[in-house]
């Protein structure tokens, strides 16, 4: 009779340990998915910022100055600004904002400097 009761206690302890292990594995999987989503959003924001900077450096007329883009379920807001530093040098800055996977506002800012002189002079950017 005692052996039978002991087997029941062992089964309960084993099932409790198994449940704790499965709960830990589930939490780890959830964390990994969240980290992957956040990394994807960061990479997309970086790519959008670099595209906007490349467009501004090339002085294309179709550069996205202040736009919104929707990529894979996330809305990104781009703000491109160009300000002169002196007669021959401009500062080009782009800021990308989005709502992260955790619901908090995220922001990424990139900048570069380009020659403020006209392209027909044949000078390259610094």
Distance between CA 74 and CA 97 in Å, rounded?
A: 10
Whether 116 shows a pLDDT value over 80: the answer reads no
Q: Which of 46-50, 101-105, 106-110 has the lowest mean pLDDT?
A: 101-105
- Please indicate, yes or no, whether the overall pTM of this predicted structure exceeds 0.85: no
Helix, strand, coil shares, percent, the chain, to 5: 45, 35, 20
Q: Which of 52-56, 102-106, 116-120 has the lowest mean pLDDT?
A: 116-120
Is residue 20 very low, low, confident or very high in pLDDT (cuts 50, 70, 90)? very high
pLDDT at 50: 93
- For the ranges 14-18, 67-71, 116-120, 122-126, the one whose mean pLDDT is highest: 14-18
Q: Which residue did the predictor score with more confidence, 125 or 109? A: 109
């Amino acid at each position: 009779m005692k052996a039978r009761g002991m087997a029941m206690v062992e089964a309960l302890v084993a099932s409790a340990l198994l449940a704790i292990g499965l709960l830990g594995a589930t939490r780890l999987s959830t964390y990994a998915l969240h980290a992957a989503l956040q990394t994807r959003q960061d990479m997309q924001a970086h790519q959008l910022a670099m595209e906007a900077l490349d467009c501004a450096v090339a002085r294309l007329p179709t550069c996205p100055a202040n736009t919104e883009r929707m990529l894979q379920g996330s809305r990104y807001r781009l703000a491109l600004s160009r300000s002169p530093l002196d007669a021959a040098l401009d500062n080009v800055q782009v800021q990308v904002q989005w709502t992260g996977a955790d619901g908090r506002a995220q922001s990424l800012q990139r900048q570069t400097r380009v020659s403020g002189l006209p392209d027909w002079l044949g000078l390259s950017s610094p």
